[in-house]
Amino acid sequence: MKNILKNRFKIIGVFVLFLFPLVSCDKEILDLENPEQFTLATYFKTPDQIVQGTNAAYGAFFQFWVGSYQWPEIWDVLGNETHATAGALGSYHEVSVIQMMGYQHNETNRSVENLWRMWYVMILRSNLVIDRADIYLEENPSNDLVIRSRGEAYFLRGWAYFNLANYWGKVPIRTSFDQSENINAPLASSADEVWAVAESDLKIAQSVLKDVGTYGDSDIGRATKGAATGFLGKLYLTTERYQEAETELAKLEGHYDLLSAEDYLWNFGETNENNIESVFEFQSAYQEGDATTTMFTNVEGGPTPAMNNMQPQLHSWNGWPNWKFPPTREQAFLYQDESGTDFIDPRGAETFYGGVAGDDTWCDMCAEDPNRVYDFAGLGYYYKKKGNKEVKPSESGTAAGAAVSGNNIRQMRYADVLLMRGEIALMLGNPSGCIDFINIVRRRFGIFEYTAANYSDSEVFDLLKREREVEFMGEGSRFNDLKRWGILEETLNPEFQEIYGTQPVRASHYFFEIPQNERDTNFGL
């Protein structure tokens, strides 16, 4: 017999014991800390962490397909310096570039959007570094690492605003990491306002950063005083402030030089990158294994950063290839010397395979039968500049599998500096000064030099146009040059007429449109 009554108090006691600890349980269990991520409150407090912030700002270049493959393609198609194969025409990933090839890009074009986003990611990450470095330097004003990182951040932000001003004109300006006020940002009132930000940033970078010679082996590839100076000069040239442009670009003399003719291809290949001719380039690393997928999804939080690019894959004979050298562009290398004799510019053989001016031996680095005769009929024309001479295992073979090239993406080399100075001289009314700079560049290959007295001002301009075209073909320069000179339509429409039978270039194409997705999300516009 059990008496419920007797048990009752015992049970209530048990119950109280059970309930009490639970009811009074600790609210601290709710204070969780993310085991996977740092927060802003705790990170970017040390020089190393601030340097990491800068590294990430560089890494922005490889987001949104830009560094990985679209960077050269966009400028190639806009400058009519490449020819799409069926491989590109049929590829999902090339749709937006193909649209640009026909000057059909608009506010919904994916490549336009990708560039926009890439530059703003770079700006955000640079703002973060500047913000944190300022805080750090208040306490430790002489920390070289932090000073340098902050300078690099100013360089990258300046480079980004330079491009935004150049390609869009008026854009939202975001110069603070504190986004509480500017999540929605209005357009700048004028392009000049954007240029001014770029100018100021590059000046700060120039004043803070050190010369390339002072960088240790492990820091090669970072922005230097020279890089900042080069882009500041280019900014002045683009905005027609010629005197200031000359002042800046002249500062690079002595710090940089042209490579020899034999080493010319170092400007494009994977060995001897960041050489004496290089003013600034984005670094890209060869990655063994199948990185194709990573190529398209190279994202924050992804497993491994795949800072490689598909340039050899997409442009050369050992790739797919999506793009070839356009035979119509060969004409640039075929001209007459001052005596009226037909001349083949030797840079043609450094630029492409095929035709009269191109290289007629190929596969320089192939294990089997190197330097065999180029099969013009079978292969068509190919960019030599974009083909990786140093073929890595997974880039060769019948179906060249992965896109894993480590070719750095060059942004400015000394030949450009020289020809910019030539352009400045011409614009300042000194055509013979222009010829002098042109001749320096020609001298590398021992090409006949121009005699200033033989040319009128407008003829000097034609020589400059040709020189830039021949020297920089396939390097993304032509579209910007034509745009700067205001001769986009008159130059390109006849060329397109000949190839495609259309004349698509219009005055509206000097600037990209603000991406539709920005319009849909930025309520400040």
Minimum Å gap between C-beta 119 and other proteins is 9
Contacts of 16 (CB under 8 A, 6+ apart): none
Q: CB nearer to other proteins: give 309 or 439.
A: 309
Q: CB nearer to other proteins: give 376 or 445.
A: 376
171 with 119: CB under 8 angstroms?
A: no
When asked if residue 515 is in the footprint of other proteins (CB under 8 A), the reply is: yes
Rounded CA separation 153/44 (Å): 14
The residues in 109-148 that bind other proteins, with binding defined as CB under 8 A, are 113, 116-117, 120-125, 128
Q: CB nearer to other proteins: give 87 or 346.
A: 87
Residue labelled with tokens 């003013």: 279
Q: CB nearer to other proteins: give 53 or 312.
A: 53
Minimum Å gap between C-beta 432 and other proteins is 41
Of the residues 108, 190, 214, 454, which one makes contact with other proteins according to CB under 8 A: 108
Token pair for residue 473? 């073909």
Q: CB nearer to other proteins: give 18 or 335.
A: 18
Rounded CA separation 321/323 (Å): 6
Consecutive H or E run containing 184: none
Residue of 366, 368, 370, 364 whose CA lies nearest to 349: 364
Angle at 59 between CA 58 and CA 63, to 5 degrees: 130
Of the residues 1, 367, 377, 453, which one makes contact with other proteins according to CB under 8 A: 1
Consecutive H or E run containing 413: strand 409-413
C-alpha distances out from residue 514 to 136, 216, 333, 463, 508, Å: 36, 41, 37, 35, 13
When asked if residue 492 is in the footprint of other proteins (CB under 8 A), the reply is: no
The residues in 151-180 that bind other proteins, with binding defined as CB under 8 A, are 171-172, 174, 179
Q: CB nearer to other proteins: give 50 or 332.
A: 50
Of the residues 144, 181, 342, 520, which one makes contact with other proteins according to CB under 8 A: 520
Q: CB nearer to other proteins: give 26 or 342.
A: 26
Site map for other proteins, 280-319, x if CB under 8 A? ---xxxx-xxx-x---xxxxxxxxxx-x------------
Minimum Å gap between C-beta 6 and other proteins is 11
Rounded CA separation 267/425 (Å): 26
Helix (H, G, I), strand (E, B) or coil at 323: strand
Token pair for residue 417? 């500096």
Q: CB nearer to other proteins: give 217 or 342.
A: 217
Q: CB nearer to other proteins: give 39 or 339.
A: 39
Of the residues 148, 150, 222, 478, which one makes contact with other proteins according to CB under 8 A: 222
Residue labelled with tokens 């990450």: 125
What backbone torsions phi and psi does residue 134 show, to the nearest 5 degrees? -60, -45
Stretch that binds other proteins, among 58-66, 384-392, 422-430, 483-491 (CB under 8 A): 58-66
Rounded CA separation 69/313 (Å): 9
10 Å CB burial of residue 139 (0-12, 13-18, 19+) is exposed
Type of residue numbered 460: V
Residue of 478, 377, 372, 349 whose CA lies nearest to 76: 478
Site map for other proteins, 37-56, x if CB under 8 A? xxxxx-xx----x-xxx-xx
Rounded CA separation 505/482 (Å): 12
Stretch that binds other proteins, among 335-343, 352-360, 448-456, 517-525 (CB under 8 A): 517-525
Total number of residues binding other proteins (CB under 8 A)?
A: 129
Minimum Å gap between C-beta 237 and other proteins is 26
When asked if residue 269 is in the footprint of other proteins (CB under 8 A), the reply is: no
The residues in 430-489 that bind other proteins, with binding defined as CB under 8 A, are none
Residue of 153, 198, 199 whose CA lies nearest to 173: 198
Site map for other proteins, 364-403, x if CB under 8 A? ------------------------------x--xxxxxx-
What backbone torsions phi and psi does residue 489 show, to the nearest 5 degrees? -70, -45
The residues in 315-344 that bind other proteins, with binding defined as CB under 8 A, are 320, 322
10 Å CB burial of residue 118 (0-12, 13-18, 19+) is buried
Q: CB nearer to other proteins: give 325 or 461.
A: 325
Minimum Å gap between C-beta 106 and other proteins is 7
The residues in 177-196 that bind other proteins, with binding defined as CB under 8 A, are 179, 183-185
Largest CA distance in the chain: 129
Site map for other proteins, 65-104, x if CB under 8 A? x-------------------xxx-xxxx--x--xx--xxx
